[in-house]
Amino acid sequence: MSRNTQTFGSMAVDWEARVDFDRLRRERLARVKEALAASEMGGLLCFDFNNIRYITATHIGTWALDKVARFCLLPRSPAEAGEPIMWDFGSAARHHALYNPWLGSKRSRAGISTMRGSFAPEHGRAEDVARKIRIELEQRGLLREPLGVDIVEPPVLFALQAEGIEVVDGQQLMQNVRMIKTPDEITLLSASCALVDAAYDHLYEALRPGIRENECVGLVSKFLFENGSELIEGINAISGERSSPHPHVYTDRMLRPGDPAYFDIIHSFNGYRTCYYRTFAVASASPALVDAYHRCRAMLDEAISMIRPGITTGDVAAIWPRANDFGFPDEEAAFALQFGHGCGLSHWEKPIFSRLVSLDHPEAIEENMCFALETFWPSTDGWSAARIEEQLVVTGDGCEVITRFPAEELLVAGQRLWTVSGPLPTTREVESNLNRPRLPVGDMVAR
């Protein structure tokens, strides 16, 4: 199959057409402007860190992700009057005026919101934000139009309303815009996955009895940061008895022979996220884990084989087992175990694939969507489990998987053991006495 995605080096060069960041900025902003023009909104006010990056191509470090301090306004107006205005964190505004020519000095301004309530109400920060927005809307004759807002703290919401501004949901507009990826976004998503491909290779070499879950997280983090990752949003490291039910967090547990170990690596390269599970067996795999892995893989492969423009998230979710088929009382309790979600500047974006919502509210699959599909299956032993995930791009007639570390069969890591009869079998029960029939003492003496 021909590849629709390409992977390049991380640097820009003059002798090869790689990611065109000027085009990336232009196309992202153009898509938001087009959607805004078709909406009822007079403008779009964003506090969401990733929406701000999508619109303005500004970034001040991942420490600011959860502060809700920065904000930008995109007015629905022609020409210069309809360009985004960025209110940024102190000196970052001056920096952007110098180094972000697409934003310009007049539209890069200092302005701070309430920082999740760190500023007390009497400091007046919420009112200051609302006043700034009212002035810009009033100058453009947009004050009577609804203002779309993506996320907002209550004091800021109340202050906007006190200025006579009607606030409506702007997050859905941004989610819909970001759902279809540009060519440069797809290249960056593929490059982000390539880093995780390599991280898994390093992890596979290191996995053996005695390593701890947190050591695995450290090993992967070191590799990713040294090779260009800007953010590690999370690394799940789950092993042994912690595998079922899925806890979604790592500990300092030491891996033991026969353990399952599954990982999810969620990181960002130039803003673009991965969500990428792999399951390994440490030293050997029990028949129960092998069976769970085969079931998990089969469910995932069937879903991937369906992906093409025109089918829906409901079509995919319908082939997945019901929650009570694998030990959960309802779909909310089993949420995100058989799952799909968009990936882009955020870890989770549209579309969503889940029996919880997709059967009743299916979304159509379109070309150039990028999403992850992930499956889970508990083993019959009652404590181990398998978890696999692939990230893919929808093409004109199908899809292309952009996560390439091998996962067709369960991989056994840390296998270096030899017996007098040869290599230790890679499929065996965890308890060594269950791996072969026990001989009566008399027979052992006779031998």
pLDDT over 70 at 46, yes or no: yes
403-419 average pLDDT score = 91
Give the CA-trace dihedral at 413, 416, 417, 418, to 10 degrees: 130
| pLDDT confidence bin for 446, thresholds 50/70/90 | low
- Spans of all domains in the chain: 21-178, 180-423
46-71 average pLDDT score = 95
**Token pair for residue 92?**
């970052």
CA-closest candidate to residue 301, choices 375, 357, 404: 375
Q: Examine domains 21-178 and 180-423 and report if their fold is the same.
A: no
pLDDT over 80 at 432, yes or no: no
Q: What digits encode the pLDDT tens for the residues 191-219?
A: 999 999 999 999 999 999 999 999 999 99
Q: What is the CATH number of domain 180-423?
A: 3.90.230.10
Q: What is the CATH number of domain 21-178?
A: 3.40.350.10
| pLDDT confidence bin for 1, thresholds 50/70/90 | very low
SS (H, E, C) the chain: CCCCCCCCCCCCCCCCCCCCHHHHHHHHHHHHHHHHHCCCCCEEEECCHHHHHHHHCCCCCHHHCCCCCCEEEEECCCHHHHCCEEEECCCHHHHHHHHCCCCCCCCEEECCCCCCCCCCHHHCHHHHHHHHHHHHHHHCCCCCCCEEECCCCHHHHHHHHHCCCCEEECHHHHHHHHHECCHHHHHHHHHHHHHHHHHHHHHHHHCCCCCEHHHHHHHHHHHHHHCCCCEEEEEEEEEHHHHCCCCCCCCCCECCCCCEEEEEEEEEECCEECCEEEEEEECCECHHHHHHHHHHHHHHHHHHHHCCCCCEHHHHHHHCCCHHHHCCCCCCCCCCCCEEEECCCCCCEEEEECCCCCCCCCCECCCCEEEEEEEEEECCCCCCEEEEEEEEEECCCCEEECCCCCCCCCEEECCCCEECCEECCCECCCCHHHCCCCCCHHHHHHC
For 115-134, letters b (16+ CB in 10 Å) and e give beeebeeeeebbbbbbebbb
Question: What are the strands of the beta sheet with 385-394, ordered from one edge?
Answer: 349-353, 339-342, 370-378, 385-394, 399-401
pLDDT over 90 at 13, yes or no: no
What is the model's pLDDT at position 296?
A: 98
| pLDDT confidence bin for 7, thresholds 50/70/90 | confident
What is the model's pLDDT at position 24?
A: 97
Task: Give percent of the chain with pLDDT exceeding 90.
Answer: 87
329-345 average pLDDT score = 97
What is the model's pLDDT at position 258?
A: 95
CA-closest candidate to residue 68, choices 46, 100, 84: 46
- Is pTM beyond 0.75? Reply is yes
Mean per-residue pLDDT over the chain, rounded: 94
Q: How many CA atoms lie within 13 A of 320 on its CB side?
A: 31
What is the model's pLDDT at position 11?
A: 83
Give the CA-trace dihedral at 144, 150, 154, 160, to 10 degrees: -20
